[in-house]
Amino acid sequence: MVRKTNLEPFSGQLVSYIPNSYAERTSRPIYALIYLLGFLLFYEVGTLLIQPETWQSLAEPQMRVVAFVWVQDLLKYLGFSARMTWVAAPLVVVVILLALQFTSKKSWKINFGDFVLMTAECIFLSIPLIVLSLLLNRASPEQGAAVVTASPGLEHRLLVDVITGIGAGIYEELIFRLIMICLLMLLFQDLCGLDRKASIIISVFISAVLFSVHHHFFFANGHFYRGDSFTVGKFIFRALAGVYFAVLYAVRGFGITAGSHAFYNIIAAVLRLLFF
C-alpha cells in the first residue's frame, strides 16, 4: 500500500481560517506571489545599480545574498548562463508559488487593499525579533542577511543593507522554510515513518540550526566562506528566529513570513544606522 504524503502543515496552514477572510486570503500562495513581486524586483535592480560590475563580470560578486547564490548555482548546474540566472532565480520563486496555488485549489481572486494590511502585519511580526535580538546580544540588532562578501566602505551602507535584507527575506525563506522543511518532512514522515508531530519538530529544529549556521559559515560559488563573526548570542538568536519563521510560515504562509523577514532586516538596518 502506498502511503499518502501529508505535507499540509508546511504547504498550507496549521489552522483553518474563515473562508475569504483576510487571514485566509493572505495565506494563499497567489497573494504571496503578487505581494513579493515588488520586493523581488527591488532586490534584482537594486543589486545591479549598486554594483554595476556584477552584471559586467559575474565571476566574483562583491555583495550577494547567499541563499540567492545557491539558487543561481543550481540554475548554472542545470545549464543557465551566469547572466540568465539573474532572471531565472526570481522566476524560481514565481514558479514554485504558482505551483502551490494550483495544487492548493484555492481562489485566485485578489483584494489589493489587503496588501496594505499585509505590510502592517509584517512590520508588527518583525518587532518581536528586534526585541529578542537586543536582549540576546545587548548591542545592535543582528543583520539578517548572509552575504557572500561584504564590501567595506560602501558609500550607501543603509541602502546596501536594505537591498540585501529584502533579498534574504525572500530567498532564505524559500530555501530554509518552503523547500527545506518540506524535504525534511518527506524524509522523516514518509521515508522514516515518524509521526506527524515528531516530524514537524525535528524538521523545524534542523532547518533552524542550519539557518543560523549559514550566517557564520557557508559554501557558495565553489568556495567556503566565513560570514558574520560567531558568538553564542548571535547563533541562538538566529536559531530562534528560524523557529519563529517556521511557525509563522505554517500559520500565515510564505508571503507574510518572507515579508516579516524582510522588514526585520530593514528595521534592523535603520536602527543600526541611527542608534548603534
pLDDT 10s digits, 163-216: 999 999 999 999 999 999 999 999 998 898 888 889 889 999 999 999 999 988
CA–CA dist 247, 260 (Å, integer): 12
DSSP label at residue 145: -
Q: Which three cell numbers stand for residue 200?
A: 514537524
Spatial neighbors of 64 by CB under 8 A, at least 6 apart, are 47, 54, 147, 148, 164
Any domain includes 5: no
pLDDT of amino acid 165: 93
Q: 45 in helix, strand or coil? A: helix
Dihedral pair phi/psi, residue 220, rounded to 5° = -155, 145
DSSP label at residue 228: S
Return the closest-CA partner of residue 146 out of 35, 80, 230: 230
Half-sphere exposure of 221 (CA within 13 A, CB side): 16
Any domain includes 3: no
Tell me how far CA of residue 72 lies from CA of 37, 77, 103, in angstroms.
Answer: 18, 9, 26
pLDDT of amino acid 143: 64
Given a contact cutoff of 8 angstroms between Cβ atoms, the answer to whether 139 and 254 are in contact is no
CA–CA dist 109, 161 (Å, integer): 34
Given a contact cutoff of 8 angstroms between Cβ atoms, the answer to whether 132 and 237 are in contact is yes
Any domain includes 256: yes
CA–CA dist 90, 37 (Å, integer): 9
Q: In which domain, by residue range, is 132 found? A: 10-275
Q: Give every residue of the chain whose pLDDT is below 70, as ranges.
A: 1-14, 51-63, 138-140, 142-155, 276
Rounded to the nearest 10°, the torsion over CA 219, 188, 177, 249 is: -170
Any domain includes 4: no
pLDDT of amino acid 217: 84
Q: Which three cell numbers stand for residue 149?
A: 562578501
Taking all residues of the chain, what is their mean pLDDT, rounded to a whole number? Answer: 84
Any domain includes 2: no
With cell 540554475, the residue in question is: 75
Any domain includes 154: yes
Any domain includes 166: yes
Domain count, the chain: 1
Burial 152-170 (b: 16+ CB within 10 A, else e): eeeeeeeebbbbbbbbbbb
Any domain includes 74: yes
pLDDT of amino acid 3: 40
DSSP lists the bridge partners of residue 147 as 65
Assign residue 77 a region (left: φ > 0; alpha: ψ between -120 and 50; beta: otherwise): alpha
DSSP label at residue 224: E
Q: Which three cell numbers stand for residue 258?
A: 518572507
